[in-house]
Amino acid sequence: PHKTIKKICCIGAGYVGGPTCAVIAEKNPDIIVTIVDINPTRIAAWNSDTLPIYEPGLDKIVKGCRGRNLFFSTDVDKGIIEADLIFVSVNTPTKKKGVGAGYAADLGYVESATRHIARVAQSDKIVVEKSTVPCRTAHSMRYILEANARPGIHFDILSNPEFLAEGTAVPDLMRPDRVLIGSLDTLAGRAAAASLADIYASWVPRGQIIAMNLWSSELSKLAANALLAQRISSINALSAICEATGADVDEVSYACGLDTRIGSKFLKASVGFGGSCFQKDILNLVYLSESLHLPEVAAYWRQVVEMNEYQKRRFTDRVISSLFNTLTGKKIAILGFAFKKDTGDTRESPAITLVNYFRAERANISIYDPKVEDSQIWMDLTEPGVVDDLAELQKQVSIATNAYSACDDADAVVICTEWDEFRDTYLDYGRIYENMKKPAFVFDGRLILDRNRLEGMGFRVETIGRAA
Ligand code: NAD
Ligand code: UGA
């Protein structure tokens, strides 16, 4: 016997909370879903015509359910009080200060949301960890809830990590490979897990909804991200060997990927992985390993991040050496600022690191991205709180409104994001070539260009994972 959920509250209206709960609302028209956030600007955007995040397919879902059984609100108290089940989907960034700085997850937002639940809840709740957290966080959450609960109120804690990727959030949520539900192995824990499973079962086959213990579920999330990032670092490490030997990384990746034991996904060499989670979650795993006195394990995972830093540095060095060892006063066009295509998100984008390296070489930089807001680019390239920074930055960096103007008069074009519109089948590279300084260089950090075709036009093309 388990409870049927009628009202859901999601704390945190971000890249995960928004799309996840919008899909839950669409697939469960009988459940009222309220997404709450302490950030009023974000909530206002969710309630407007222009949603705060860009995800293909999301607009239609949100606009179809909003006001019917999907609501966005800043009233966190009310959201909590009314709900039977609460997703905690707040940010868990890497700690900047204090113990574990640079590695450990900052659980301040999770704790504050948990305390908020304990403070205002007037009835039993199922509390679901949706945020990515270190293994055993559910234990702390339960402790906080129980220590602060009103008399007679019972909380069950579940772990239900999210595996969506940005840019494909909607299809990932519609057809997930699996849904994990971790619970305590008690009668109450299993009943809570069954209540949550029913919500997903509205559209996910039961066989793909996997019940397991809480700690396995929490760790599986960190493990999955670490394994995915490890594949990228592995192929990027091989790309360096390719460049030095004449092997072609796309061919090596294809050849290896045909082995069904290896598989073809996540073996695309690149200028380096970005995004809000890979680095953060691996560092979190490194910290966890160190706290468990497992230094060899920590070193193993840390190397995945180090290889990623090396890849960005190596690519920059290739640009500098190709451009006759100096970038001073040269114009570099950066195509793409988002961390991957089909998103406006720039968190940990390799483009940020590259622009900073090029700035240090005193290059002039022009940036174009089809989805990233100008204000975001300025924010990413300045230090918070440094007043003169922006004026200094704008002497060296400009933002273009299209790819052609970014490339006008440039010495080199650097592809940082694999947007389809940067492919040579879309963009008129002949026109770009005409308006560039000569020799005209293209550095393909995403392996999206037909090198022979561009060389035929007169470009000198340098591609990750291919010899010059
Ligand atoms: P985000 O920063 O986009 O959103 C988090 C939101 O939580 C913010 O809007 C913030 O204002 C709000 N918030 C923080 N504390 C709050 C509180 N006490 N009460 C109410 N609102 C509060 O973060 P995100 O990208 O959605 O990530 C959320 C979690 O999901 C992280 O742990 C992340 O690791 C994980 N995750 C992210 C992705 C992804 O693709 N971005 C995928 C899977 C998992
Ligand atoms: C990643 C995971 O794929 C999701 O399953 C997970 O839920 C999410 O992290 C998270 O926890 O936040 P995301 O970061 O949104 O999703 O995007 P990915 O498609 O994984 O790409 C991450 C980075 O790796 C991007 O910069 C991308 O360009 C790069 N990448 C990806 C490569 O360089 N090569 C590849 O083969 C694949």
pLDDT in tens, 3-18: 999 999 999 999 999 9
The finding on whether 448 has its CB within 6 A of some atom of ligand 2 is no
Q: Best substitution site from 11, 15, 94, 128 to test ligand 1's pocket, by max atoms within 8 Å of Cβ?
A: 15
Helix (H) or strand (E) holding 159: strand 155-159
Average pLDDT over residues 278-292: 95
Distance 431 CA to ligand 2 centre (A): 33
Residue 21 confidence (pLDDT): 98
Average pLDDT over residues 270-278: 96
Ligand having the closest approach to the CA of 353: 2
Distance 123 CA to ligand 2 centre (A): 39
Average pLDDT over residues 332-355: 96
Average pLDDT over residues 229-244: 98
The finding on whether 232 has its CB within 6 A of some atom of ligand 2 is yes
Ligand having the closest approach to the CA of 275: 2
Helix (H) or strand (E) holding 101: none
φ, ψ dihedrals at 250, nearest 5°: -65, -35
Q: State which ligand 2 atom lies nearest to the alpha carbon of 15.
A: 12
Conformation bin of residue 122: beta by default, left when phi > 0, alpha when psi is -120 to 50: alpha
Q: Ligand 1: which residues within 6 Å by Cβ? A: 11-17, 36-39, 42, 76, 89-92, 109, 112-113, 116, 131-132, 162, 164, 166, 276-277
Ligand having the closest approach to the CA of 132: 1
Q: Best substitution site from 129, 232, 354 to test ligand 2's pocket, by max atoms within 8 Å of Cβ?
A: 232
Confidence band, pLDDT 50/70/90 cuts, at residue 430: very high
Residue nearest atom 1 of ligand 2, based on CA coordinates = 165
**Is the predicted pLDDT of residue 28 greater than 80, yes or no?**
yes
Closest residue by Cα to residue 125 from 115, 117, 133: 117
Average pLDDT over residues 50-55: 94
Conformation bin of residue 315: beta by default, left when phi > 0, alpha when psi is -120 to 50: alpha
Distance 269 CA to ligand 1 centre (A): 28
The rounded mean pLDDT for the chain is 96
Burial class (CB in 10 A: 0-12, 13-18, 19+), 314: middle
Contact residues for 308 (Cβ-Cβ < 8 A; gap 6+)? 229, 232, 233, 236, 272, 273, 278, 279
Which residues are the active-site residues?
Answer: 277
The finding on whether 180 has its CB within 6 A of some atom of ligand 2 is no
Residue 1 confidence (pLDDT): 84
**Is the predicted pLDDT of residue 387 greater than 70, yes or no?**
no
Q: b/e per residue, 123-162, with b = 16+ CB within 10 A?
A: eebbbbbbbbbbbebbebbbebbeebbeeeeebbbbbbbb
**CA-CA distances (angstroms) from residue 460 to 151, 316, 329, 347, 413?**
72, 16, 20, 31, 10
**Is the predicted pLDDT of residue 392 greater than 90, yes or no?**
no
Q: How far apart are CA 468 and CA 464, in angstroms?
A: 9
Q: b/e per residue, 251-271, with b = 16+ CB within 10 A?
A: ebbeebbeeeeeeeebbbbbb
The finding on whether 130 has its CB within 6 A of some atom of ligand 2 is no
Q: How far apart are CA 465 and CA 468, in angstroms?
A: 9
Ligand having the closest approach to the CA of 10: 1
Q: How many residues does the chain have?
A: 468
φ, ψ dihedrals at 131, nearest 5°: -60, 155
Question: Taking the model in full, what pTM does it have?
Answer: 0.96
Instruction: Work out whether strand 364-368 and strand 331-335 pair parallel, antiparallel, or are unpaired.
Output: parallel
Confidence band, pLDDT 50/70/90 cuts, at residue 384: confident
Distance 317 CA to ligand 1 centre (A): 35
Distance 147 CA to ligand 2 centre (A): 38
Distance 398 CA to ligand 1 centre (A): 30
Q: How far apart are CA 133 and CA 122, in angstroms?
A: 26
Distance 235 CA to ligand 2 centre (A): 14
Residue 192 confidence (pLDDT): 98
DSSP bridge partners of 159: 129, 182
Q: Which amino acid is at 97?
A: K
Closest residue by Cα to residue 129 from 216, 18, 218, 223: 218
Confidence band, pLDDT 50/70/90 cuts, at residue 293: very high
Tokens 């293909």, residue located: 56
**Is the predicted pLDDT of residue 318 greater than 80, yes or no?**
yes
Q: Cis link prior to 151 (omega < 30° from 0)?
A: no
The finding on whether 274 has its CB within 6 A of some atom of ligand 2 is yes
Closest residue by Cα to residue 337 from 297, 299, 380, 294: 380
Closest residue by Cα to residue 398 from 390, 183, 271, 292: 390
Average pLDDT over residues 158-162: 98
Question: Between residues 134 and 416, which one has the greater pLDDT?
Answer: 416
Distance 348 CA to ligand 2 centre (A): 11
Q: State which ligand 2 atom lies nearest to the alpha carbon of 236.
A: 33
Q: Best substitution site from 10, 16, 109 to test ligand 1's pocket, by max atoms within 8 Å of Cβ?
A: 16
**Is the predicted pLDDT of residue 260 greater than 90, yes or no?**
yes
The finding on whether 316 has its CB within 6 A of some atom of ligand 2 is no
CA dihedral 164, 166, 170, 176 (to 10 degrees): -20
Residue nearest atom 41 of ligand 1, based on CA coordinates = 15
Ligand having the closest approach to the CA of 16: 1
Residue nearest atom 43 of ligand 1, based on CA coordinates = 162
Helix (H) or strand (E) holding 73: strand 70-73
**Is the predicted pLDDT of residue 383 greater than 90, yes or no?**
no
The pair of structure tokens assigned to 447 is 């392996």
The finding on whether 342 has its CB within 6 A of some atom of ligand 2 is no
> What is the ipTM for the molecules in this complex?
0.98
- 269, 465 contact by CB (below 8 A): yes
Radius of gyration of the chain (CA): 24
